[in-house]
Structures are given as C-alpha cells and as structure tokens.
Structure 1
Amino acid sequence: MNSVRFYTTLLVAFMLAVTTYSQSVFFVDIHLNQQLVREDGGLNYGGQFSYRIHQDISIGVSASQAAMDNKDSRSYDLGKLGIQVNYAFGNFDNFKFEAITGFSYLHFSEDIILEKNKGFGLDLGVQTVFRTAYKLNYGLRLVSTYSAIPLGGIVNAGVLVRYHL
C-alpha cells in the first residue's frame, strides 16, 4: 500500500508542476453512488481532483470507498484509487456528455474470502454534467470497473457535484 501512496503522491506532484505552466482549470468532483458487485450492493462515496488539459479533455486522480452488503448478510469494504481521463464529446452551453476511461487499484477488505484482495482494474463509463452556476455543476454518472478480483463486474451509478477552483 505504501507504493500506491508514493506513486499517487508522485502523480499529483507531476500534475501540479505541469499545470502551473499551462492554461488549465482545476476542479473537484464529489461522487455519491449505488455500487453493485454481482449480487452484493452498497453505498459508494468518493471524490476526484482533476484539471482540464483541453476544452474537451480532463485528467484526474480519484479515490472512493464503499460499504458493501453481501447476500449472506456479511458486510465488507471496497476501496478504489484511480486515474481517469474524461472526454467531453457532447459539449453544449449548459450541458456536457463525457466519456470516462481510466485505471484503478482495488482493495477488498479481509472480511470476504477471495483469492486476492488487491489488484488493478479498468474503468469505463459515461457522465452528464449540468451547469448551474459559473463554478458549481452537478450531474449523473455511470462507471463500470472490470477486474479479475471479484466474481463479477463492479458497477457504480449515482450523482456528482463539481466545483471549479
């Protein structure tokens, strides 16, 4: 886990250095999702720190945590750190439709019996972002994570709030 923290810190430092020399915009997303892993369900909350590289492209570092309820009445936690790229291919005045692609590091708690409790995944999804004010936006989000760890896909569906710094 220490190597993940090191690489995440290194990536954030690199992003800050790059953005100080470019014309980019920082923003923070807060997510609240319903998460499904096969038959298990739970509440997922998280956030993402991003910057806009281009008018239609942004890159960000995300983290989320979920409390899952198992079908056998056992609970477990699922943590996720990731790097995501958003591409707005439907960009209008008060509305954006964005595609999400990224990689994530998953960590299941020891409460559930799996062959491996840690590993990597591929994130694919879409989100819509509505503009209410200059700095504040809200939207809907659907992201699916593909990984070899769980016995099924991981799906997140929920809402987001975005604040431009």
Structure 2
Amino acid sequence: MYRSYRSAVRLLAPDAVFFLGDLMDEGQWGDRDTFHRYAGRFDSLFGSSGNKPEVHVLAGNHDLGFHYAVSPFRVEWFEKRFNRSTVDTIFIKGQPFVLLTSMALHGDGCKFCHEAEVALRTIGEELACAKRGKCERNVSVRFHPYRRPILLQHFPLFRYVFIFSSRLS
C-alpha cells in the first residue's frame, strides 16, 4: 500500500489527496489508544512529506460508527488528530471544497446532526452571497469570487447500481 501510494504521488504530483473515510477497522469500538495507534499507522503510510501533496481526511463509519453509535469522544479524537471538523471547507488554488461527515446527515435533530445543519446553512448563505456578488448582512466573504464548490463526503449521494438492483428484485 505504501509503495503504491508513494509511486502514484510521485508520478502524478497531485496538489492534494483526499481520503474519504474508513481509515480504521474498529473505530466504533476502539478506545483512545486504539484510535491513536490506527491514526499513527495512517500517518506513517499516507502522511505528506513536506507540503506536497496536501492530505485531507474525512471520517467514515468505520472511524466513528454509524449514526446512533457515534460517540462524541470519537468525533473529538478525529477532529483533533486530523484537524477536520464535521463540516469543513478548504480551498486549493482558489477552488472551494466542502467536506462533510456523512454520519451527521441523518436529519433526526440530534446534537451531531443539528451542528452539521447549522454549519451547512452558514456555508450555503456564504455561497449564495458570493454568487450574488453582494451581501445584505454580515456574511463571510471567504467564497469571493464565487466558484462552485466541490462536495466530498464518505457515503455516496447516488449509486448507479441501485437502479439495476431494484429492477432485478
């Protein structure tokens, strides 16, 4: 895995690499030491040497657990270790990326989901403001000039295979 990754990075020279979750096998069940052991292994395999490429990480269900199994402790460990909040934005060469933790999109009003929804609304307001080119109230201008953001999350929004599997059933 290490050699394949390093070879791809050396040959393709990307500005950034995104890992869309499932960095660990037992994140839902592991304790703090287990989490840090897995995170250290991930860093030893995929951490950036120097500044290139930027490595960005999202949490997956194997890192935090599925929605009702997500522990606030695990979320905090992940956020601190990988410098990534539940809803985050980054910019690479002026291109905005919105990174979402999929497990916070259950929509049941729990604290985890509520905080993600508030953050998404704020980002939505900022993007709308940038798209209009003016803001009516005190809204961040970090998305100026407007560019359509790229959304990244762990769970796919759409799977083509579902169309065929539902017809076959």
Which of the five TM-score ranges fits, normalised by the shorter chain? under 0.3
Which structure shows the higher strand fraction? 1
The structure number with the bigger radius of gyration is: 2
TM-score by length of 1: 0.23
| TM-score, normalization by structure 2 | 0.22
The answer to which structure has the higher helix fraction is 2
